[in-house]
Chains A and B, each alone.
Chain A
Amino acid sequence: MTGLLRVENLHVRLGGSHVLQGVSFEVAEGSVTALLGRNGVGKTTTLRALLGLVPREGRVVLDGVDVSGEATHRIVRRGVGYVPEDRDVFAGLTVAENLQLAVRNGHARYADVYRLFPELEQRAAQAAGTLSGGQQQMVAIARALLNDNRILLVDEPTKGLAPLLVAEVASALERVCAQSTVLLVEQNLAVVRRVAEHVVVLDTGHVVHSGPAHALLDDRERVHALLGVS
């Protein structure tokens, strides 16, 4: 089955080290795939490479189109929603302006977004820099939901959040995942359990495991060996 997103032999060199040494995997349409691996193995780099934010070699095929050489904004306009690791909301802009910036064409799904995150509508005029971590995370996710995206790339959405907020974001994520194709990087395995159907594990620059989520997550020994956690 050809996936919505296909990555073939991705190489990335950053600051002298060969971070990704031939990464290949697929994300099927409608599925939620989690990209797992130890800290620093290159999960975030993989997402950034897919978007062309770092120089890379290899093939990236989105919806049957080879986007390997395209500029970031072109790839994104093909229908990619990106929720970056550190949220990267624009601190000097208001919540409304942050969302406005993300709108790509006429019919932005403000209704859906505000239903999911009613707080954002209340705080529309507030400067994004004054929001809490959890609220900024909501803005980051909302941005990716405003447009009709073919796939969402979500990078550690619960990172650095208090447990209560983790639960909130996880719920929101669950609802999002039910309706979209998602490639998710996440260290929190409980969250992965809730939403992921498929997992791809990275280690030393390669994909070392790829398969159904529950199969891996139920195998404690395997999880410990591959991810160093239990």
Chain B
Amino acid sequence: MRRYVVPLALVVLLAVVPKLAIDVPVLFADGLNTPGTLQLLALMLVFAGVAFTYDLLFGYTGLLSFGHALYFAVGVYLAAIAMTKWHWGFWPSVFLTAALGLVLPLLVGAVSLRVGGIAFAMVTLAFAQAGSVLAFKNPGRLTGGEDGFGVDYTKLPSGLVGILNTKNLYWLALAYAVGVFLVGRGAVNSSPGHVWQAIRENELRVQVLGLRTFDFKLMSFVLASFLATIGGIVYLTLISGASPSVTTPDFTLALLVMVVIGGAGARWGAMLGGVVYTYLDHRLGDVAGSHAVSTLPSVLRTPIQQPTFILGLVFILVVYFAPGGLARLSRIGRRPLALEEIEA
């Protein structure tokens, strides 16, 4: 029982944030309960969840996919297209998207999982790249091409529209993050979940025990992708539009960076990574424009102005000195674990 006190307290604390008129200098530009900060916090929570879905694949089952962005993008685009181009209502759009979020990974996974290792990574990349090309190509003027398009906000529930309702979006994002965590942890601790982790360790041994690893891998693939699709829908409500940047390999790589920085296969590592990455990605841009930075010599100033540079650097440092991620910082100084050796 004691194990649940801290996480529960954390969730409660997060839930009351929109009521807290507190200023956190340096870390946030405005007070905690302002729409701007709440929006950022909500994004951090969404990506905490999506990063965890990627961790289910990579950190727990050992499947290195380069195409996870596809399922997130389906969540964003299909819901947006249904509401905006086909004029469907909100809930029908959500159900349609959720249904595709189940069927698509089932089909794609059944094909991709026939191969393993690098081949699997490349096939998943290929499928995601196909999706990306479609998004940019704008078939039937559905996807908006390079610029994407804004969602028809009249289709969204009124509680989720408008600056004053940012706190509702925040709570939605919190619910998503908590939901993904509960479902994910539940799955990981179940007996199929144990098989996933055994597969990550040594797939051959699992097969020798008579288990059809294909089925288990597919299960993990579908669950992770489905949860990512839901995340895409939540993300859509947050930013009210679809843009092709969520379909690119860069996006999947960002998820990979989140998971590794936070700690692959560690309890809340991926979520921590998602939070930290999203925060830095947004705030570093602000910091870069600040007065303090503009006084630095240009050699230092120019790299700092690109958040991706700092993130890439942090990523390299983590891989070198703390390959277990932030969640396992207590291991620093001891022999670094190869990722293959890391236990959940």
Interfacial residues, chain A to chain B (CB-CB below 8 A):
15-16
Contact = CB atoms under 8 A, between A and B. Distances in A.
Interface string B204-224: 010000000000000000000
A187 B205 CA distance: 27
Contacts, number: 3
Contacts of A15: 202, 205
A157 to B, nearest CB: 28
Contacts of B202: 15-16
3 contacts: A15-B202, A15-B205, A16-B202
Nearest to B205: A15
> Which A-B residue pairs are the 3 nearest by beta carbons?
A15-B202, A16-B202, A15-B205
Nearest to B202: A15
B209 to A, nearest CB: 14
A18 to B, nearest CB: 16
Contacts of B205: 15
Contacts of A16: 202
A12 to B, nearest CB: 16
Q: Describe B's contact surface by its main secondary structure.
A: helix
A15 B205 CA distance: 10
Say which size band chain B's interface belongs to. under 10
A16 B202 CA distance: 10
A16 B205 CA distance: 11
Nearest to B201: A16
A15 B198 CA distance: 12
Nearest to B204: A15
A226 B205 CA distance: 28
B154 to A, nearest CB: 59
Nearest to A15: B202
Interface in B173-216: 202, 205
A16 B198 CA distance: 12
Interface in B301-332: none
B323 to A, nearest CB: 17
A6 to B, nearest CB: 27
A69 to B, nearest CB: 14
A161 B202 CA distance: 32
A15 B202 CA distance: 8
B339 to A, nearest CB: 16
A212 B202 CA distance: 41
Interface string B258-272: 000000000000000
A228 B191 CA distance: 39
Interface in B56-88: none
B337 to A, nearest CB: 13
B231 to A, nearest CB: 35
B199 to A, nearest CB: 14
A93 B205 CA distance: 34
B129 to A, nearest CB: 32
A39 to B, nearest CB: 17
A155 B202 CA distance: 27
A98 B202 CA distance: 33
A107 B205 CA distance: 47
A15 to B, nearest CB: 6
A16 B201 CA distance: 10
A15 B206 CA distance: 13
A197 to B, nearest CB: 40
A11 to B, nearest CB: 16
A183 B41 CA distance: 66
B115 to A, nearest CB: 23
